A and B are shown apart, each in its own frame.
Chain A
Amino acid sequence: MKKKKKIQPNSLWALPSAGLLLLLTIAPLAMLLLFSFMNRNMFAGQPWPGWTMGNITRMMASGTFWDLLLRSLRTGLIVTVICIAAAYPAAWAMAKVVPEKRRGMCMILVILPFFTSQLLLIYAMMNLIQTGGLLMTALNAIGIPAKSFLYTNAATVLVLVYEYLPYMILCLYSSIEGIGDNLIHASLILGANKVRTFTHIVFPMSAPGLLSGILLVFVPVVGSFVEPGLVGGSNGMMVGSLINSQYKDNLNMGYGAVLSCVLLIVLCVIMAIISFATKKAQQSIGGDV
Chain B
Amino acid sequence: MSKGFNWAMRICLWIVLLFMYIPIIAIIGMSFNKTSYGMFPYVFTTQWYRVLATTSNLPAACWLSIKFSALVAVAALIIGTMTSFGLQYFSPKMAKRFNFVMQLPIIIPWLVTSISILLLFTFMGSGRSYPVMFLGNLIVVLPYVVMLVNNRFVEMDRTPEAAARLLGAGPMRVFCDVTLPGIMPGILAGGMMALIVCFNNFVLQYYLSPVAVDTLPVTVFTRIKSGYQADLNALSAIIILIAVIIVVIMTRLGYSGGSLFGMSSGSGKQKGD
Contacts and interface: CB of A to CB of B under 8 A. Distances in A.
Interface of A: 4-5, 8, 10-18, 20-21, 23-29, 31-32, 34-35, 42-45, 86-87, 89-90, 92-94, 96-98, 103-104, 106-128, 130, 132-134, 137, 162, 165-166, 169-171, 173-175, 177-184, 188, 194, 209, 212, 215, 219-220, 222-226, 230, 240, 243-244, 247, 253, 256-257, 260, 263-264, 267, 271
Interface of B: 1, 5-6, 8-10, 12-13, 16-17, 19-24, 26-27, 29-30, 37-40, 79-80, 82-83, 85-91, 98, 101-102, 104-105, 107-113, 115-120, 122-123, 125-127, 135-136, 138-139, 142, 146, 196, 199-200, 202-203, 207, 216-217, 220-221, 224-225, 228, 232-233, 236, 239-240, 242-244, 246-248, 251, 256-258, 260-261, 263-264, 267, 270-273
Contact of B23 (A12, A18, A94, A128): A128
A222 B82 contact: no
Contact of B270 (A10, A173, A175, A177): A177
B46 to A, nearest CB: 18
Contacts of A219: 107, 109
Contact of B251 (A11, A24, A104): A104
Given A29-B116, A116-B243, A222 B109 contact: yes
A128 B22 contact: yes
Given A32-B112, A230-B224, A257-B119, 11 more contacts: A14-B98, A15-B86, A25-B101, A86-B16, A90-B13, A106-B13, A108-B251, A115-B196, A130-B37, A162-B19, A178-B271
Contact of B40 (A14, A44, A132, A175): A132
A244 B196 CA distance: 24
A181 B117 CA distance: 48
Nearest to A170: B257
Given A11-B89, A20-B142, A117-B200, A42 B123 contact: yes
A4 B107 CA distance: 30
Contacts of A222: 109
B26 A117 contact: no
A124 B243 CA distance: 15
Contacts of B247: 108, 111-112, 115
B110 A223 contact: yes
A171 B263 contact: yes
A24 B256 contact: no
Contacts of B88: 10
Given A14-B98, A179-B272, A220-B110, A90 B40 contact: no
Contacts of A121: 23-24
A222 B228 CA distance: 27
B59 to A, nearest CB: 15
B40 A244 contact: no
B188 to A, nearest CB: 15
Which residue of B85, B108, B116, B251 has the most chain A CB atoms within 10 A of its CB atom? B116
A97 B263 CA distance: 21
B243 A115 contact: yes
B273 A182 contact: yes
A260 B26 contact: no
Contacts of A171: 261, 263
Nearest to B217: A119
B51 to A, nearest CB: 17
B248 to A, nearest CB: 7
